Structure 1
Amino acid sequence: MKYRNFINENIKVSILGFGCMRFPLYDPNNNGSIDKEKSFEMLKYAFDSGVNYFDTAYTYHDGQSEVFVGESIKKLGRDKLYLATKMPLWLCKEYSDYENIFEEQLKKLQTEYIDFYLAHSIGENSYRKMVENNIFDFFDKERKSGRIKYVGFSFHDNLELFKEIVDSYNWDFCQIQLNYMDENYQAGVEGLRYAKSKGLSVIVMEPVKGGFLSDGPKEVKDYFIDLNKEYSMAQWALKWVYNFEEVSLALSGMSNLDQVKENIKIASEAEANSLNFKELENINKVKDFFNSKTKIACTSCEYCLPCPEGVQIPSVFSKYNNAVIYDRKERYKKEYLSLIEEKKDASLCVECGQCESICPQALNIIDTLKEANNYFIKEKP
């Protein structure tokens, strides 16, 4: 297992972190029904192979991940690993919620302290609300008490906001989405380097884009086979992330033992700045192939919002693009149906043209909204 510096030179973390959000289940329709025997086998194999960073959250597996992880790290040895969990900002209406949820987490995890504690999934609204609720005072208090060793945040919003948040507090680390298809998405590579320049350690989540980059058509697979037929697509996705020296570790939400073994193999070999010209070139060709299937070049800048009719235009386009690019229509159809329930879907467009008049990309929004709705629904239910 390879290790990199984290926070400071006294902490060495495995470059593979175990994301505890996709454990195998007894009942596929019950996300809280963790198969503890299979899941512990995975955790122990990872631990015995050198993985020392385990990441959970209050809401993972319907609240059961923290319970199971608490039971498991007690068996593995609490002082032999690093534990990370997160504050669910969307459940916090006032300062006392931070205190109450944190106390609950300590009990569920059967620990007296958390090594790495994150404000979970910060976006524009949740950031403003947590500042208003004085979350930084909570962090300062628990840091001083020793019950939180290091403070960070996980992020899902635009680059400008990311930089503002980085500069807003004495953070130790941050967690961003990054993979070879998302170089310029959310914080992206620029955010990675900005955070590092400000002294933050950086954790990468979704290095395989939620599994989307673990499989592909023959054209894509051939690019990777040409490099090394022994490596899977998922392993190449991890190698791309590990190539950045600014990355301390990559989290992977593994759901079976084979995935654990596959990821550990790469995490035992990968080095920063190790990909050669041909490897980077072929990965860019894969990226170009996927991008060539993009239906509309929406950057999610949100200049088109609010739509007078309530259509969530960037969200519609994101689901349409991902469904086509990665051949995941059924998955994104379910998400599109949720937009219909929320009365934010493309069928509500009345072709007023406001969005097209202000779109900085000059996109054909109206016609593509029709295409997206027809692709998922054919007609409004």
Structure 2
Amino acid sequence: MQYKDFRGEVSLSRLGMGTMRLPREGNQPGAPIDFAKSETIIDKAMASGINYYDTAYVYSGSEEVLGRALAKYPRDSYYLADKFNILAEPDYKAQFTEELRRLGTDRIDFYLLHELRDNFLDQILTRECLGYFEELKRKGTIRYLGFSYHGSPEQFPRVLAAYDWDFVQIQLNYFDWLFGDARALYEALEQTDIPVMVMEPVRGGRLAEMPPALEKRLKDVEPDRSIASWAMRWLMDKEKLAVVLSGMNTLEQMEDNLAVFSEYSPLTAEEKALVEEVCAEYRPLISVACTGCRYCCEECPKQINIPRVLNIYNDIKLDRAWRIDFLKMLDEGRRPEDCLGCGLCKKHCPQGIDVPAYMKELVELEKQ
């Protein structure tokens, strides 16, 4: 395992474990996390030297599972990252207290203001929560304070200037670097001394599985490496990065990532050029850039499995019109035609996806 010095104070594994996608007991929204499977994965992570574990108040059930799974290990052998989500519970004191309870701990090592976006920056940056969290830092209940960002590059400097942040978490991968805001955010951070944590390195799995013709182009160069490994290796030479978070939900994914991070092996110039070519061909095939984070599912009145529906939408658009039959396999009452168009999903989507519009389009496609 590779490690990175963090502010000259702690050593962090360059591969961190995200818990947003822990295995669940079924595919329906709200299905409980499978503790036995999750514990096996976390045990493997600990045994392999991963010492950074990321969770959040809104990752349903993950705080409790992570706390239980790590309880048998010395508290100083790992670092916990958790987040304050103002949209889920504006009472920051109550939310933080509940997070400690769920995790079964007396401190959180890396604490973030969660999912900062343009439409509520004023709401959170002017609140007294920053002062409260700073006081917890002085007491040792929080060790490092940062934020995760899903806003625009235009508003990013304002957030950076709002506080003396210890770290920042951004969505960073080669797709978002080439076609999104990732490059602008990273280059802004290069002008600071703030370490960077990476979320969505394989963009919710989009960069782990591609159409066969595109995968073949990568496999022809590196036949023994996974498609996901290209995305991980693309990140390796980014000097600002401290930890790359991966939401590993199988032992196979864990083993693959561990192999990648066992050595420093960034992409060569030729491999980077190939990735750019492949990505340019891949871009038109991704109709909806959903990362599968499931934030949209929690408040859906109809409990629609929105990421699953959007995946079906993308499959239909990938010249697989027959996939429209997959919509009929969804539970009754939880299909596109059941969408109320209330917009709660769009409110919580970090990517700003207009989910109701895609639901309406699918309804029309089914009629054709």
**Smaller-chain TM-score range?**
0.7 to 0.9
Q: Which residue of 2 aligns with 1:153?
A: 147
Q: How far is 1:245 from its partner?
A: 1.9
2:86 aligned with 1:89, yes or no?
yes
Q: Which moved more, 1:177-186 or 1:194-203?
A: 177-186
Distance 1:88 1:327, change over 3 A: farther
Offset at residue 339 of structure 1 (A): 11
3-state secondary structure, aligned to 1:213: coil
Quote the Cα distance in structure 1 between the aligned partners of 2:118 and 2:111: 20
2:34 maps to what in 1? Answer: 35
Please give the residue correspondences for 1:139-150 in structure 2 after superposition, counting only pairs within 5 Å: 139-150=133-144
Question: What SS does the corresponding residue of 1:100 show, helix, strand or coil?
Answer: helix
Distance 1:319 1:215, change over 3 A: closer
Residue in structure 1 matched with residue 231 of structure 2 by the alignment: 237
SS of 1:151's equivalent? strand
Kept in 1, the 8 Å contact 2:3–2:14? The answer is yes
Alignment of 1:83-122 (within 5 A): 83-93=80-90, 97-122=91-116
Following the alignment from structure 1 to structure 2, what is the Cα–Cα distance between the partners of residues 260 and 174?
24
Closer/same/farther in 2, CA of residues 254 and 338 from structure 1, 3 Å limit: farther
- C-alpha offsets along residues 46-100 of structure 1, whole Å, 9 cap, x if unaligned? 111111100011111x2x211111112211221101110111110343xxx1111
Q: Distance in 2 between matches of 1:13 and 1:338?
A: 47
Q: Do residues 263 (structure 1) and 257 (structure 2) align?
A: yes
Give the match's secondary structure for 1:91. Answer: coil
Q: How many residues align?
A: 329
| In 2, Cα distance between equivalents of 1:251 and 1:147 | 23
State the partner residue of 1:377: 364
> Residue 206 in 1 paired to residue 170 in 2?
no
Residue 322 of structure 1: CA displacement?
5.8
Cα pair distance change 1:80/1:326, threshold 3 Å: farther
Equivalent residue for 1:291?
283
In the TM superposition, 1:329-340 aligns within 5 A as 337=336
Paired letter, 2:2: K
Task: Name the CA distance, whole Å, in 2 between partners of 1:160 and 1:153.
Answer: 17
The letter for the 2-side match of 1:10 is E
Please name the residue that 1:250 is paired with: 244
Bigger Cα displacement from structure 2, 33-42 vs 192-201: 192-201
Radius of gyration: which is bigger? 1
1:215 to 209, 218, 226: 209
Instruction: Describe the SS at the equivalent of 1:150.
Output: strand
Give deviations 1:334-354, integer Å, cap 9, x for gaps: 99949962267xxxxxxxxxx
Quickly say closer, same or farther: Cα 1:339–1:119, change in 2 above 3 A.
farther
Residue 185 of structure 1: how far off its partner (Å): 5.8
Query: Is 2:339–2:359's contact at 8 Å kept on the other side of the alignment?
Result: no
1:188-203 alignment runs, 5 A limit:
188-203=182-197
Match of 1:51 in 2: 50
Distance 2:64 2:31 in 1: 10
Give yes or no for contact 1:156–1:186 (8 Å, CA) kept in 2. Answer: no
Q: CA separation in 2, counterparts of 1:193 and 1:49?
A: 32
Specify the code of the residue in structure 2 equivalent to 1:100.
A
Identity across matched positions, percent: 31
User: Which residues of structure 1 form unaligned runs of 5+?
Assistant: 297-317, 345-369
1:73 to 45, 70, 74: 70
Separation in 2 of the partners of 1:46 and 1:81? 11
Per-residue CA deviations over 1:300-334 (Å, capped at 9, x if unaligned) read xxxxxxxxxxxxxxxxxx9999664698987x989
Q: Larger relative contact order (C-alpha < 8 A, sep ≥ 6)?
A: 2
What SS does the corresponding residue of 2:22 show, helix, strand or coil? coil
Q: Secondary structure at the match of 1:222?
A: helix
Distance in 1 of aligned mates of 2:263 and 2:66:
27
- Contact 2:170/2:199 (8 A) holds in 1: yes
Letter in 2 for 1:24: P
Call closer, same or farther: CA 1:174–1:252 in 2, change over 3 Å: same
For 1:326 and 1:172, the matched residues in 2 are separated by 46
Mean Cα deviation higher: 101-110 or 241-250: 241-250
Aligned residue identity for 1:37? A
| Corresponding residue SS for 2:188 | helix
Q: Aligned AA for 2:277?
A: K
C-alpha separation in 1, matches of 2:167 and 2:109: 12
TM-score by length of 1: 0.77
Instruction: Indicate the SS of the match to 1:23.
Output: coil
Instruction: Identify the range of structure 1 (71-80 vs 125-134) with the bigger mean alpha-carbon deviation.
Output: 125-134
Q: What CA distance in whole angstroms lies between the structure 1 residues aligned with 2:156 and 2:139?
A: 28
Following the alignment from structure 1 to structure 2, what is the Cα–Cα distance between the partners of residues 326 and 279?
28
Residue type at the aligned position of 2:50: V
Could you tell me which runs of 5 or more consecutive residues in structure 2 were left unpaired when the two chains were aligned.
289-309, 344-356
Kept after mapping to 1: 8 A contact 2:313/2:362? no
Contact 2:79-2:110 at 8 Å conserved across structures: yes
